[in-house]
Amino acid sequence: MTADRESGHWPSRRNGTLDWLARESVYEPYIDNLFGGVCNRLRGDGVPLDRATLHLRTLHPQLLGATITWQPGMEDARIDFHERSALERPAYLNSPVRALFEGAEGIRQRLDLEHLGDAPSFGIFADLRSRGFTDYLALPMRFTDGKRHASSWATRRPEGFEATDLLTIEEMLPILAMAVEIRLNRRIAKNLLNTYVGPRAGERILRGEITRGSGETLHAAIWNSDLRGFTRLSQRRSRDELIELLNGYFDVMADAVLGQGGEILKFMGDGLLAIFPLDAPQACVRAFRAARDAILGMRRFNAARRDRGEEAVGFGIALHRGDVMWGNIGAASRLDFTVIGPAVNVTERLQELTKELRLPVLLSGAFVESCEHHDAPLRRLGQRRLRDIDEAIEVYTIVEEETVVSA
């Protein structure tokens, strides 16, 4: 595939790319910038590089991985993310990348030859040849966890790559792999932490703020929502049906919260706890809009269920405002980032009241006072006692939403 290392034909040129990777790349935190720097320096080393790609697999609930593409004139490389469905597309199924992922040790192909011989006719070859490329090299990138990623390198030089070009790339690739792995692992860790604990807690964990009891006091609008009748449904539905129901319901609630800039703290069985910190503009207004978005989303969700012959499901959302203690709480060997405090308790009990009153949304007086520009009329329900809360609180609901299924 490439020149034989044991023949002694190593690159005669000094590999400035290797020097840069070893000495300077530590100051570049982003993979696309790192790869762009590598490709530009390879050209500076005399490698006639006209296109290069990295194909990285990752751990993400929706994404399969990413392709990073560099071409001359690009200071940094371009990143394209791929959903898991990409595995079924012809462009992947008939590609050198798939071959490398599945164990191929490397692919070298001259693209300017009229006949490719017995070499696999990957779809990318015809595309590159039509764009003037003459030579192509694909090599695996091995990470320390044993996973295989992929790289490709192509030129338009009429003579293609020389042996010294190939060896320059090959001797640089293990160092590039190590540099990429460090950055990719941090990105994976951030993605997973964002998915499981949220961006606020995830960033703290990555910064090393993991001591039990560490945290802060936040002034926030607090969201607590719950799916009605889940215990009854769980006795009559299969596990898969329940998971599908919960995922669909949480999609509606999470899209509403995140779409208005809220932060989901945790899913609790069939409940969801979120905050809208008041240091952000119009936090209570955005929380109010999120509640209305959730109601509209649940209307569509229940309409789809009825069309399938399934029963509609109810829900309740409570919104309150107050100080919450947000931080790292738990046992010495098992910690969790969460919020606690009287305001959190009030929100939970207010959500319980939505079931008793058969209303989808209840707002505390404290929340309404901070929500100056809500875009729907409210109805005052008066002072209400909440379970285990010493003082009664003022409670409101949204007038036009009172007919929505809530219990």
Tens of pLDDT, residue by residue over 300-356, are: 999 999 999 988 999 999 999 999 988 888 888 887 878 889 999 999 999 999 999
Binned at pLDDT 50, 70 and 90, residue 7 comes out as very low
Q: Which residue has the higher pLDDT, 177 or 189?
A: 177
Q: So what's the pLDDT on residue 346? A: 94
Binned at pLDDT 50, 70 and 90, residue 400 comes out as low
Q: So what's the pLDDT on residue 221? A: 95
Least confident of 37-46, 68-77, 246-255: 68-77
Percentage of the residues of the chain whose pLDDT score is greater than 70: 91
Reply yes or no on whether the pLDDT at 11 is more than 70: no
Judge: domain 210-401, CATH 3.30.70.600: no
Q: Which residue has the higher pLDDT, 366 or 16?
A: 366
179 contacts 14 by C-beta, under 8 angstroms: no
Mean pLDDT of 70-82: 84
Distance CA 86, CA 91 (A): 8
Q: So what's the pLDDT on residue 202? A: 76
Residues 166, 168, 169, 173, Cα dihedral to 10°: 140
Q: So what's the pLDDT on residue 117? A: 57
For 182-230, the pLDDT digits (tens) are: 888 887 777 667 777 777 777 777 777 777 777 788 899 999 999 988 8
Q: So what's the pLDDT on residue 304? A: 95
Q: So what's the pLDDT on residue 404? A: 52
Percentage of the residues of the chain whose pLDDT score is greater than 90: 50
Q: What is the sign of the dihedral through the CA atoms of 48, 142, 37 and 91?
A: positive
Q: So what's the pLDDT on residue 226? A: 94
Q: So what's the pLDDT on residue 227? A: 93
- Among 277, 286, 382, which Cα is nearest to 322's? 277
Mean pLDDT, all residues of the chain = 86
Residue 159 DSSP symbol: T
Domain 5-196 fold:
Beta-Lactamase (3.30.450)
H helical segments located in 214-277: 230-234, 239-259
Q: In degrees rounded to 5, what are phi and psi of residue 362?
A: -125, 140
Amino acid at 342: P
Q: In degrees rounded to 5, what are phi and psi of residue 185?
A: -65, -35
Q: Which residue has the higher pLDDT, 233 or 299?
A: 299
CA angle 242, 270, 250 (to 5 degrees): 80
Q: So what's the pLDDT on residue 83? A: 75
Reply yes or no on whether the pLDDT at 376 is more than 80: no
pTM over 0.75? The answer is no
Reply yes or no on whether the pLDDT at 96 is more than 50: yes
Q: So what's the pLDDT on residue 385? A: 85
Residue ranges of the chain that CATH labels 3.30.450.40:
5-196
Q: Which two tokens stand for residue 99?
A: 């071959």
Residue ranges of the chain that CATH labels 3.30.70.1230:
210-401
Reply yes or no on whether the pLDDT at 149 is more than 80: yes
H helical segments located in 81-238: 90-93, 96-101, 123-130, 163-196, 199-206, 230-234
For 251-279, the pLDDT digits (tens) are: 999 999 999 999 998 888 899 999 999 98
Distance CA 142, CA 119 (A): 24
Reply yes or no on whether the pLDDT at 245 is more than 80: yes
